[in-house]
Chain A
Amino acid sequence: MPEPNRQGEVWVFAEQEEGSLNEVALELCGKARELADRLGVQVGAVLPGAGVKDLAPRLIAQGADRVYVVENPCLGHYQTQPYARVLTTLIERRRPQIVIYGATPLGRDLAPRVASTLRAGMTADCTDLEIDNVVEAKSKQEHPNLLLQIRPAFGGNIIATIVNFDWWPQMATVREGVMALRPPDPSRTGEVIEEKVEISETDLALKLIRRHLEPRKVNLKGARVIVAGGGGVGSKENFKLIYDLAGAIGGAVGASRAAVDSGYIGKEHQIGQTGTTVRPALYIAVGISGAVQHRAGMEDSAKIVAVNKDHDAPIFSVAHYGIVGDFKQVLPLMIKAIKEK
């Protein structure tokens, strides 16, 4: 086991498919930037694929200092072993101290295979990452600047913080939509580095027979935070505030049937008996009266915040926090408070 490389970069696996980046990779660039600034190191993004080099500037605009591009025709369609070969080779070559992946079906297929080859730690499905000093309970040894890998476990009944003292790199997958997507900064500059990785015949163990992809849907089921608007939002234009709050908080946008029927937002956002049933960590209901059909689709959320003008609205009967007031005033205050936190 080599010594931890404390000067190592913070890396993001830049997941892409058919030449377009998965949004979670952009979210992670922002988080990696924050972690790297705290550590005083650089952010690297690993971008394997075929014909993907043009995606590098977007990763730089989201916070990467270096993009390691690995172009190879056999990386055109994702397959576990060739992609794992790319990651393990580059990690051994460049020795980052942290590597984060989106907790997508692809990321959760790839990351453990990489960790197993490197004999490094891997924490699945994190909802937060922090840097802090940690004192080892048994030896009382202090480990400076470790990655705290925070995740729900036990069916969401506990929150565990996982650390990796010295079997580096420290690696984790991070749930989609949890880290706020920052606005891109096109003026940022960075380096694009083309890396060569040898991919052997045995790495190409799978043959793709057929594939059927659906357009990415609104990911309400997997969202940790949902901001939902109802008939009380009043117009399509007003729904922009719902989107703004969801963007600031790193959440998905939901809606009640009344909002969908009024044409404020598409049906794919509908929550309730006739829409999607959700149980996020936080559900913010804005201008939703809380008909029983809606409540049936969201009342198991861990925390519910209701914003409504009418203090008799039934939504308050399932809420943990209630704000009686005008959402046009309340939401901007919430966005401000989140940005300041």
Chain B
Amino acid sequence: MPYDSIVCVKQVPDTANVTAEAMKEDGTVNRGALPAIFNPEDLNALETALEIKERHGGTVTAVSMGPPKAGEVLRECLYRGADRAILLTDRRAAASDTLATSYILSQAIRTIGRYDFVFCGRQAIDGDTAQVGPQCAEKLGIPQITYLEEVVAIQDRRVQIRRNMGHGWEIVEAALPVLVTVIASANQPRPPSIRRVMRLKKAKVIAELAAEVKDRMPDAAEEKVQAEAQRRAEELKQRGLLIEQWGLDEIHADLARCGMAGSPTKVHRIQAIVLKKEGFVSVPDTEEGIRGLIHELVVDRTLG
């Protein structure tokens, strides 16, 4: 029996590999200078969906919410075997916290319509919250199974999944549809298929086309740019290479639940961690010396 999967993927700054270029003079990280990558556990989520498709048939649809540049990770999904890719991009979605993000993603999933599985990576390496998956499941009104390590069996629209509980595991069974979050140890994500890269490397979303046109004709009026982008999009569509792009209107989102307006949590303050390593600070083994050390560790938030 074929099964249809939707995979939520995110493009993230590579926080785990801070390059020399991204380090600022003062020892803090310039986040804008970090390379953008496919969120690692989202690749495991994609792999899980592709394996189900290979074994049982069905389709894999990749969805990403982000700026036009996130078209890059959707192409990566197509190269690996996804059948369809959709970019959710809308200025009004900027500054969404996990609650607003999960609302927007769930509206997109409803708009796609039919599905048996929704797969997400457990968490994204920029925020490490692990909240968007469970919150999407709640919004869709379906069960969630977090920390998938192995799909044990799928039969008659029921699935058995082994989930990692940190200090052990359990196998649970649920009727489809379900939302599943996947951890890194679940599988080894496949590399892109060369044949698919050749066929699909020109696939683009219309926002990327518009940016290209703007680069080519910097002095052109906005209308003209849009018209040219539209023309190129038609051409790509004819060749089956247009990656779909949806805004908040296409997914019938309530604007009060999106972006800043739809986000209960606000960032009040950001402190950069300063990395220094030029010999050690010698602390005298006196009561005063040690009190000074503890105070310093409290001030720089090493100690709570």
Q: Give the docked Cα–Cα distance between A225 and B298 (Å).
A: 13
- Tell me whether B266 and A205 are in contact (CB under 8 A): no
Q: Is B51 an interface residue (CB 8 A)?
A: no
Q: How far is the CB of B160 from chain A (nearest CB, A)?
A: 6
Contact of A250 (CB < 8 Å), options: B160, B172, B289, B304? B304
Q: Which stretch from A67-75, A91-99, A155-163, A189-197 is at the chain B interface?
A: A155-163
* Chain A residues whose C-beta falls within 8 Å of the C-beta of B16 in the assembled complex: 155
Contact of B277 (CB < 8 Å), options: A149, A159, A282, A320? A320
Main secondary structure of the interface of A (DSSP, over half): mixed
Contact of B139 (CB < 8 Å), options: A116, A281, A305, A334? A116
Contact of B290 (CB < 8 Å), options: A109, A167, A205, A337? A337
Question: For chain A residues 305-341, which have a beta carbon within 8 Å of chain B?
Answer: 305-306, 316, 319-326, 329-330, 333-334, 336-338, 340-341
- Tell me whether B172 and A157 are in contact (CB under 8 A): no
Q: Is A128 an interface residue (CB 8 A)?
A: yes
- Evaluate whether A333 and B290 lie within 8 angstroms (CB atoms) in the complex, with A112-B130, A208-B170, A217-B167 already known: yes
B1-35 interface bits toward A, Cβ cutoff 8 Å, 1 = contact, 0 = none: 00000000000010110100000000011010000
- Tell me whether B131 and A207 are in contact (CB under 8 A): no
A230-258 interface bits toward B, Cβ cutoff 8 Å, 1 = contact, 0 = none: 00000000000000000001100000000
- Tell me whether B170 and A212 are in contact (CB under 8 A): yes
Q: Which stretch from A49-57, A119-127, A267-275 is at the chain B interface?
A: A119-127
Q: Give the docked Cα–Cα distance between A165 and B266 (Å).
A: 8
Residue of A113, A179, A340 with most chain B CB atoms under a 10 A cut-off: A113
* Chain A residues whose C-beta falls within 8 Å of the C-beta of B130 in the assembled complex: 108, 112, 124
- Evaluate whether A211 and B168 lie within 8 angstroms (CB atoms) in the complex, with A323-B285, A341-B294 already known: yes
- Evaluate whether A156 and B273 lie within 8 angstroms (CB atoms) in the complex, with A115-B99, A207-B174, A338-B294 already known: yes
Contact of B264 (CB < 8 Å), options: A152, A167, A325, A333? A167
- Tell me whether B172 and A207 are in contact (CB under 8 A): yes
Q: Is B44 an interface residue (CB 8 A)?
A: no
- Tell me whether B131 and A124 are in contact (CB under 8 A): yes
- Tell me whether B273 and A158 are in contact (CB under 8 A): yes
Q: How far is the CB of A77 from chain B (nearest CB, A)?
A: 8
- Which A residue's beta carbon lies closest to that of B181? A109
Q: Is A291 an interface residue (CB 8 A)?
A: no
- Tell me whether A157 and B167 are in contact (CB under 8 A): no
- Tell me whether A207 and B265 are in contact (CB under 8 A): no
Q: How far is the CB of B282 from chain A (nearest CB, A)?
A: 5
Residue of B18, B143, B174 with most chain A CB atoms under a 10 A cut-off: B143
Query: Chain B interface: which size bin?
Result: 35 or more
- Tell me whether A161 and B172 are in contact (CB under 8 A): no
- Which B residue's beta carbon lies closest to that of A339? B294
Q: Is A199 an interface residue (CB 8 A)?
A: no
- Tell me whether A324 and B270 are in contact (CB under 8 A): no
Q: Give the docked Cα–Cα distance between A93 and B82 (Å).
A: 45
- Tell me whether A281 and B302 are in contact (CB under 8 A): yes
* Chain B residues whose C-beta falls within 8 Å of the C-beta of A325 in the assembled complex: 285
- Tell me whether A212 and B174 are in contact (CB under 8 A): no
Q: Give the docked Cα–Cα distance between A330 and B169 (Å).
A: 42
- Evaluate whether A157 and B269 lie within 8 angstroms (CB atoms) in the complex, with A116-B102, A210-B171 already known: no
- Tell me whether B99 and A157 are in contact (CB under 8 A): no
Shortest 7 CB-CB contacts between residues of A and residues of B: A155-B15, A325-B285, A121-B264, A167-B264, A116-B138, A112-B131, A213-B168
23 contacts between A and B (CB under 8 A): A105-B165, A105-B166, A112-B132, A112-B134, A112-B135, A120-B99, A121-B265, A125-B129, A128-B301, A154-B31, A157-B31, A159-B271, A162-B265, A178-B304, A207-B172, A214-B167, A281-B302, A319-B280, A321-B281, A321-B283, A333-B285, A337-B291, A341-B298
10 new A-B contacts at CB < 8 Å, known A152-B273, A158-B271, A206-B143:
A109-B147, A112-B131, A122-B131, A155-B18, A155-B125, A282-B297, A319-B280, A321-B282, A333-B290, A341-B303
